[in-house]
Structure 1
């Protein structure tokens, strides 16, 4: 852990030891009358000058700053905060903030999918008395998050917006493919364009090299060698290619509306994954057993700037001391 670097603080004694053992070397000049004086052993004396003390202080501060940079400390500086998921209705946010009594609190806007992870990473930056309110449709994580402080979550739970997907079909069985996509609500275009997200290729010849799309449904694999040894899941074979991701099923095109709907559901589940569900509104109680994450590095930039400045100052003082 980074906090173990604080055990290196005793290294600050090194500059003190080095300065104390420095000796001023003086050249001895014999005097003619020295023969009449009693013999005595030579002694060395140390004289501290003001620039020595300043140089010692700067060197100790430089080492302390380097240790702090390695330890990556966290300074609680945040007060009451409202975290708003991007795209949340502004009027609803204002009402919720007013009800919670956080009108003077700072507001932080961020994507909904990053809110929980960001909170976990920066949790130690809030002062103990600070209140946190999270507003918006936050996706439900696989495991219930735990925090070391109380956090309130309020969700709007608005219905998901219908996604408009454009499809281009290259096939002699165009009407049959239209019935397939009518079950899913896709828009079948007459020609491929910039909005085309899916191309259905149901022809034996290869498509033009310039034709690109994120997704392809391939009914005839003769022109797509990538699908020959492609893995198969739930009756669907898929492979990535420079044209886009290729999907193939021997049952395409489906013969009935139910078969089309089932096949499209399987394809969408495999490609896009399960849909994201919104977390319900709740209050996360402080959990002493919550795992403390590593520091987020919020102070490292300032510490690095201080390190550079102290190093330059130390070099200047060292050069001036030798003159």
Structure 2
């Protein structure tokens, strides 16, 4: 049971308006009539009468409390049935081939490759008997996931599309740097721009002067450390020094641009591992049996917007009815 589900234990609070309305009495003033002396003495009796507008106000207050509890408990309705989860970039022919046996299942295009994370966030939206199929290049999780539904993984590594990495070079040895980037290996396509732009990921600064203050990029390769006095005390590993500045992260190593192929490959490998990040592996094809003891994932909050709007509307109606009743 998730922590938000504990709010359902507060449902008896909805009875408070009922008790309050039952005990509420109108204040009346008793005025004796002159002819009352001829009537036999009797104790006055009070009779409680419920009016229609009181009942409407009672219902509004009960609904207001119920909607508040549902919002705090993050209500989730299991409205989804069998589904085919498609990773980005999966060809329609692959989906049609791998979705055999899931006829009539609803297709869901995942926002990213991490199908496990999406399922953990949305699993409570699926009916208890729903079957789930994941196709395409989905990410392999660090540990074997557990779900309350049967999940079939029919995954395959998608063809690698070279990613563009935009670079701006400021150097008198512009040709040497361009030859270095032209020889880049791997799933990259390095584009050397004439000037920095919004897509620039790397600036190569191979000049003795200080760069302009308005020049910024996520990563800098600095061949001359003279304009960067902080690099002398910066940490280093394998001859590479780095430090963080308001302009971006700065790297420096002696002998740049590298001339040997091994040094060039090591530099590109460091760029991939330390800055861009390693690409996750594709999850292996397998069948995950349902596990009734699997913890319920966090709710996706799909109904929070609707419940919030309902709360505002109910509160406004309750205030209006209360105001009309007091007039």
Partner of 1:131: 131
Partner of 1:206: 210
Q: After superposition, what is the alpha-carbon deviation per residue over 1:123-142, rounded to whole angstroms, capped at 9, x for unaligned? A: 01001222211121112232
Secondary structure at the counterpart of residue 267 of structure 2: helix
Gap change, CA 1:49 and 1:203, over 3 Å in 2: closer
Partner of 2:262: 258
Secondary structure at the counterpart of residue 113 of structure 2: helix
TM-score (norm 1): 0.85
CA deviation after TM superposition for structure 1 residue 180, in Å: 4.3
Whole-Å separation in 2 of the counterparts to 1:151 and 1:3: 25
Partner of 2:49: 47
Secondary structure at the counterpart of residue 204 of structure 2: strand
Partner of 1:100: 101
**Structure 2 residue 70 is matched with structure 1 residue 68:** yes
Quick check: 166-175 or 253-262, which moved more?
A: 166-175
Task: Find 2:312's aligned residue among 280, 287, 308.
Answer: 308
Gap change, CA 1:213 and 1:321, over 3 Å in 2: closer
Q: How many residues align?
A: 321
Gap change, CA 1:319 and 1:277, over 3 Å in 2: same
Whole-Å separation in 2 of the counterparts to 1:277 and 1:177: 31
Q: Does structure 1 retain, via aligned residues, the 8 Å contact 2:178–2:192?
A: no
Whole-Å separation in 2 of the counterparts to 1:33 and 1:175: 118
Q: Point out where structure 2 has 5 or more consecutive residues left out of the alignment.
A: none
Q: Which runs of structure 2 are paired with 1:1-323 in the superposition (5 Å)?
A: 1-97=3-99, 99-102=100-103, 104-165=104-165, 167-173=167-173, 177=177, 180-181=180-181, 183-185=183-185, 189=192, 191-192=194-195, 194=197, 197-209=201-213, 211-323=215-327
Whole-Å separation in 2 of the counterparts to 1:113 and 1:215: 26
Q: Does structure 1 retain, via aligned residues, the 8 Å contact 2:8–2:69?
A: yes
Q: After superposition, what is the alpha-carbon deviation per residue over 1:21-80, rounded to whole angstroms, capped at 9, x for unaligned? A: 222333322233433444443332212233333332332222222222222221100012
CA deviation after TM superposition for structure 1 residue 316, in Å: 3.6
Q: After superposition, what is the alpha-carbon deviation per residue over 1:258-310, rounded to whole angstroms, capped at 9, x for unaligned? A: 23323332343222233321112222221233222232222222222322333
Whole-Å separation in 1 of the counterparts to 2:323 and 2:254: 80
Q: Does structure 1 retain, via aligned residues, the 8 Å contact 2:88–2:110?
A: yes
Whole-Å separation in 2 of the counterparts to 1:106 and 1:322: 53
Whole-Å separation in 1 of the counterparts to 2:58 and 2:294: 43
Q: After superposition, what is the alpha-carbon deviation per residue over 1:232-257, rounded to whole angstroms, capped at 9, x for unaligned? A: 23432223345443211135343522
Q: Does structure 2 retain, via aligned residues, the 8 Å contact 1:153–1:282?
A: yes
Quick check: 10-19 or 35-44, which moved more?
A: 35-44
Runs of 4 or more consecutive aligned structure 1 residues displaced over 6 Å after TM superposition:
none
Quick check: 258-267 or 129-138, which moved more?
A: 258-267
- Across the aligned residues of Structure 1 and Structure 2, the Cα RMSD in angstroms comes to 2.8
Q: Does structure 2 retain, via aligned residues, the 8 Å contact 1:138–1:279?
A: yes
Q: Does structure 2 retain, via aligned residues, the 8 Å contact 1:167–1:199?
A: yes
Whole-Å separation in 2 of the counterparts to 1:126 and 1:308: 28
Q: Does structure 2 retain, via aligned residues, the 8 Å contact 1:204–1:220?
A: yes
Gap change, CA 1:24 and 1:83, over 3 Å in 2: same
Gap change, CA 1:256 and 1:301, over 3 Å in 2: closer
Q: Does structure 2 retain, via aligned residues, the 8 Å contact 1:203–1:220?
A: yes
Q: Point out where structure 1 has 5 or more consecutive residues left out of the alignment.
A: none
Gap change, CA 1:125 and 1:28, over 3 Å in 2: same
Whole-Å separation in 1 of the counterparts to 2:25 and 2:325: 14
Gap change, CA 1:51 and 1:253, over 3 Å in 2: closer
CA deviation after TM superposition for structure 1 residue 222, in Å: 0.6
